[in-house]
């Protein structure tokens, strides 16, 4: 199992004139430390119009800054919301980031889970699956071919050459964000990596992994390159004692998911207006937190990876056994102080990253 930091650039109220500014630069400093502590990557989400939850509207710019301050840490777009972007611009910006990072980009893609984002950019939720598939197909062709003509439902290109091309050939590793079992199966068919929330239910993750790997066997990616990896993300924090870790990060993780749940319930409250491709996600969106208003119960269930090194390792081993190869750790959660986050990164680097590196070496 490999470990990454994952950022939404949360910024809880009350705000000061510098709170947003500080969040961004603390993220950069934490990423630098993560490289020193053996982390594999840093991922940054793309969200729009989600105050407090995420102030990350331009993740590629933040990742470019991190790339200039690191040398081995991979930089992950987690994820580019393809339905709200023109594929020509996506191809240019991701390739530019790959150049400026010396070939360290992980290209995560997704559809968007919030009506607010889609409505603001004038995208019909019923079209997002088609826009995602078409956009990804076109981006890959723009990177692979010198001159591209493309007649899609949403985008038409007539004999264009797009520059620059990415350093990684034929393209950076591709991922998709998954919120329902069918998307894991679709990811496998396309030969791309899949990532989703931990949920605490390792039996469910085994089922997702089974769907994914069964489909992966039949994958025929257009580029011929398969990224057959499963990733999961969650709130994570490691401290010297279980009590310290829980008291530091537990309430902040609970704050974050209550806010997300409130937005989800508010945006998709009209069941008749929910497109078919979103219904499984909306139906299950709040289910993992039903009856769990106590952060200790959420941690005990394994939905958050919070505790001392031994506790974190035990929970992570459950997910590894369920098929997860990458764990994306949201440590900048709520109001967790910057120094506490750096302490947690160091604890991961001292105890957890080496533990799983040794396990991987033994298996290899």
**Domain of residue 153, CATH code:** 3.20.20.30
pLDDT band at 289 (very low <50, low <70, confident <90, very high): low
Please count the CA atoms within 13 angstroms of the CA of 353 that sit on its side-chain side: 21
In this predicted model, which residue has the larger pLDDT, 284 or 97?
Answer: 97
Please count the CA atoms within 13 angstroms of the CA of 140 that sit on its side-chain side: 20
Q: Does residue 208 contact residue 143 with C-beta atoms inside 8 Å?
A: no
Counted domains in the chain: 1
- pLDDT above 60 (res 23): yes
pLDDT tens column, 49-66? 999 999 999 999 999 999
The candidate with the shortest Cα–Cα distance to 188, out of 176, 199, 196, is: 176
How many other C-beta atoms lie within 10 A of the C-beta of residue 305? 28
Provide the residue range defining the domain that includes 162: 2-363
pLDDT computed for residue 285 by the predictor: 54
pLDDT band at 22 (very low <50, low <70, confident <90, very high): very high
pTM for the full model? 0.95
Burial class (CB in 10 A: 0-12, 13-18, 19+), 307: buried
- pLDDT above 60 (res 287): no
- pLDDT above 90 (res 79): yes
Q: What is the rounded CA–CA span in Å between residue 277 and residue 191?
A: 20
- pLDDT above 80 (res 281): no
pLDDT computed for residue 56 by the predictor: 98
Our CA dihedral for 194, 62, 23, 337, rounded to 10 degrees, sits at 50
pLDDT tens column, 304-363? 999 999 999 999 999 999 999 999 999 999 999 999 999 999 999 999 999 999 877 666
CA quadruple 101, 103, 106, 109: dihedral sign: positive
DSSP category for residue 189: H
- pLDDT above 80 (res 288): no
- pLDDT above 70 (res 291): no
Three-class SS state of 316: helix
pLDDT band at 113 (very low <50, low <70, confident <90, very high): confident
pLDDT tens column, 130-166? 999 999 999 999 999 999 999 999 999 999 999 999 9
Residue 55 Cα distances to 9, 21, 28, 74, 112, angstroms = 5, 10, 15, 21, 15
């Amino acid at each position: 199992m490999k470990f990454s930091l994952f950022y939404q650039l949360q910024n809880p109220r009350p705000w000061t004139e510098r709170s947003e500014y500080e969040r961004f630069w603390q993220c950069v400093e934490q990423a630098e430390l993560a490289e020193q502590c053996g982390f594999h990557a840093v991922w940054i989400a793309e969200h729009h119009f989600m105050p407090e939850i995420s102030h990350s509207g331009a993740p590629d710019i933040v990742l470019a800054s991190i790339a200039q301050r690191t040398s081995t840490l991979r930089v992950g777009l987690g994820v580019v919301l393809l339905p709200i972007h023109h594929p020509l611009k996506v191809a240019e910006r991701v390739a530019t980031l790959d150049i400026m990072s010396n070939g360290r980009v992980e290209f995560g893609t997704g559809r968007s889970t919030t009506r607010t984002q889609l409505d603001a950019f004038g995208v019909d939720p019923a079209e997002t699956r088609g826009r995602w598939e078409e956009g990804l197909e076109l981006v890959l062709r723009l990177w692979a071919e010198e001159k591209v003509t493309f007649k899609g439902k949403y985008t038409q290109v007539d004999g264009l050459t797009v520059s620059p091309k990415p350093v990684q050939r034929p393209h950076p590793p591709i991922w998709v964000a998954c919120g329902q079992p069918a998307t894991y199966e679709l990811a496998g068919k396309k030969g791309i990596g899949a990532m989703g929330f931990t949920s605490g239910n390792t039996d469910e993750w085994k089922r997702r992994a089974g769907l994914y790997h069964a489909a992966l066997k039949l994958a025929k990616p257009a580029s011929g390159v398969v990224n057959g990896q499963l990733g999961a993300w969650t709130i994570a924090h490691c401290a010297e004692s279980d009590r310290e870790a829980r008291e530091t990060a537990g309430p902040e993780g609970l704050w974050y998911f209550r806010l997300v749940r409130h937005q989800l319930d508010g945006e998709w409250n009209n069941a008749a207006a929910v497109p078919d491709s979103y219904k499984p996600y909306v139906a299950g969106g709040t289910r993992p937190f039903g009856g769990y208003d106590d952060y200790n119960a959420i941690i005990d269930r394994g939905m958050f990876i919070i505790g001392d090194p031994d506790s974190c390792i035990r929970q992570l081993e459950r997910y590894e056994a369920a098929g997860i190869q990458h764990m994306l750790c949201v440590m900048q959660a709520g109001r967790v102080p910057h120094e506490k986050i750096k302490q947690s990164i160091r604890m991961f680097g001292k105890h957890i990253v080496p533990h799983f590196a040794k396990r991987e070496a033994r298996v290899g």
